[in-house]
């Protein structure tokens, strides 16, 4: 049991869920701190029936803290994580800043739990769209090596934070009421629309979000030979990312075998009955910690290809749940 832990970004969308999970899963500790930006410092948080005052994120707040789960922007993570480690604190970081640093393990507990042992003070949690992809891939990869992946994401507005959700709800109300709406987060209206760009231009026409999926997937699975073609799209859904995934494997995996492999893999739920209109949907998967898979079928264009549909709550397994699972791993070391 850790004597003292902290949640950084405790008042944000992901931080709020981290608090819920720590309480729901009875995470063991003796003392806890809640830390946020100067703007939120001084606010009160109720956790496990007790009120706590939110502290401002400064290097000295980590004195005596052994483990912290952090959900902050990249530049914030860059500035505070090293300072926290100097003070003896282990950081489980949700930002993108440390993920591809060679000395920082990038961990999904269902896939590479032993990687946490390699940490030098910082452990990184993957991008939300990557997390559900690699969980689905790993179930198949252990049976037959995956050579190639084509993935298209349908990403919820909650992935862009509270402002993204406001753009969806505010934009919908404005259109229905015949009024104008000034976008706060997205470059174009998201209500009744799709935006085929998430992140900045990065490499040969791919965005930063898409390249995260390439680099992070290879790092987590420990296989730089996997060829990955991603397309990331923002859609007018409030929560849960969805993905169409096509994998090409070295040896053939039948639909029946794939369904068996998915169902046996920890953290995956199969909902796959097309005739009865049963498949994962954002509306029914929100608030859940699992990765949901359906529409499993053979690829008509490739002999060893398999296509399927994947939905997961991007704020939970895509962020908060994965980080708390890493913290639970750390308790066992």
The CATH number assigned to the domain holding 72 equals: 3.40.50.720
Number of CB atoms found within 10 A of residue 257's CB: 14
- What is d(CA 91, CA 121) in angstroms, rounded to the nearest whole number? 6
In this structure, are 135 and 90 located in the same domain? no
pTM to 2 decimal places: 0.96
Is residue 140's pLDDT more than 90?
yes
| Annotated active-site residue in 89, 232, 240, 241 | 241
In this structure, are 115 and 98 located in the same domain? yes
Enumerate residues 6+ apart whose C-beta is below 8 A from 254: 298
Mean pLDDT of the chain: 97
% of the chain at pLDDT higher than 90? 98
The residue-averaged pLDDT of 262-266 equals 98
- Residue 146, beta-bridge partner list: 249
| pLDDT at residue 59, as a whole number | 94
200-217, pLDDT tens digit by residue? 999 999 999 999 999 999
- What is d(CA 283, CA 270) in angstroms, rounded to the nearest whole number? 16
With cut-offs at 50, 70 and 90, classify the pLDDT of residue 333. confident
Comparing 78-82, 134-138, 268-272, the range with the smallest average pLDDT is: 78-82
| pLDDT at residue 156, as a whole number | 98
Question: Domain tally for the chain?
Answer: 2
In this structure, are 118 and 265 located in the same domain? no
In this structure, are 110 and 205 located in the same domain? no
% of the chain at pLDDT higher than 70? 100
Comparing 5-9, 79-83, 239-243, 280-284, the range with the smallest average pLDDT is: 79-83
- Contact present, 189 and 211 (Cβ < 8 Å): no
In this structure, are 69 and 139 located in the same domain? no
- What is d(CA 252, CA 254) in angstroms, rounded to the nearest whole number? 6
The residue-averaged pLDDT of 261-273 equals 98
Q: At what angle do helices 13-24 and 321-332 cross, to 10 degrees?
A: 40
Read off the tokens for 330. 């750390």
128 has catalytic annotation: yes
Q: What number of CA atoms fall less than 13 Å from residue 322's CA on the CB side?
A: 34
In this structure, are 115 and 163 located in the same domain? no
In this structure, are 150 and 291 located in the same domain? yes
297-326, pLDDT tens digit by residue? 999 999 999 999 999 999 999 999 999 999
- What is d(CA 210, CA 206) in angstroms, rounded to the nearest whole number? 6
| pLDDT at residue 1, as a whole number | 84
86-129, pLDDT tens digit by residue? 999 999 999 999 999 999 999 999 999 999 999 999 999 999 99
| pLDDT at residue 332, as a whole number | 87
Could you tell me the CATH number of the domain that includes residue 261? 3.30.360.10
In this structure, are 265 and 143 located in the same domain? yes
DSSP secondary structure code for residue 198 in this structure: -
Is residue 23's pLDDT more than 90?
yes
- Contact present, 291 and 266 (Cβ < 8 Å): no
Residue 122 belongs to what domain range?
2-126+319-332
In this structure, are 19 and 100 located in the same domain? yes
Q: What number of CA atoms fall less than 13 Å from residue 183's CA on the CB side?
A: 11
In this structure, are 121 and 135 located in the same domain? no
Is residue 158's pLDDT more than 90?
yes
| pLDDT at residue 22, as a whole number | 97
In this structure, are 284 and 297 located in the same domain? yes
| Annotated active-site residue in 128, 232, 240, 310 | 128
The residue-averaged pLDDT of 13-20 equals 95
| pLDDT at residue 124, as a whole number | 98
In this structure, are 25 and 42 located in the same domain? yes
């Amino acid at each position: 049991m850790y004597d003292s832990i902290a949640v950084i970004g405790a008042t944000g969308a992901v931080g709020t869920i981290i608090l819920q999970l720590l309480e729901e899963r009875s995470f063991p500790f003796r003392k806890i701190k809640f830390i946020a930006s100067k703007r939120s410092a001084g606010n009160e948080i109720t956790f496990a029936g007790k009120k706590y005052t939110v502290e401002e994120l400064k290097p000295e707040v980590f004195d005596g803290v052994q483990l912290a789960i952090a959900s902050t922007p990249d530049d914030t993570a860059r500035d505070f994580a090293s300072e926290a480690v100097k003070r003896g604190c282990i950081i489980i970081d949700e930002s993108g800043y440390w993920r591809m640093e060679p000395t920082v393990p990038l961990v999904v507990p269902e896939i590479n739990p032993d990687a946490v042992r390699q940490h030098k003070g910082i452990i990184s949690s993957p991008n939300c769209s990557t997390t559900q992809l690699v969980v689905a891939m790993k179930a198949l990869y252990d049976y037959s090596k995956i050579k190639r992946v084509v993935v298209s994401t349908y990403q919820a507005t909650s992935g862009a934070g509270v402002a993204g959700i406001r753009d969806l709800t505010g934009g919908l109300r404005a259109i229905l009421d015949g009024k104008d709406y000034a976008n706060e987060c997205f470059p174009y209206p998201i209500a009744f629309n799709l935006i085929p760009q998430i992140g900045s231009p990065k490499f040969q026409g791919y965005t930063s979000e898409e390249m995260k999926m390439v680099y992070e997937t290879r790092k987590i699975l420990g296989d730089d030979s996997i060829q990955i073609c991603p397309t990331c799209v923002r859609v007018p859904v409030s929560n849960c990312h969805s993905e169409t995934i096509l994998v090409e494997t070295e040896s053939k995996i039948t639909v029946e075998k794939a369904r068996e492999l998915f169902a046996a893999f920890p953290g995956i739920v199969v909902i796959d009955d097309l005739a009865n209109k049963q498949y994962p949907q954002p509306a029914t998967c929100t608030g859940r910690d699992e990765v949901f898979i359906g529409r499993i079928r053979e690829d008509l264009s490739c002999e060893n290809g398999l296509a399927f549909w994947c939905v997961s709550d991007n704020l939970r397994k895509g962020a908060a749940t994965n980080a708390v699972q890493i913290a639970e791993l750390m308790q066992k070391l």
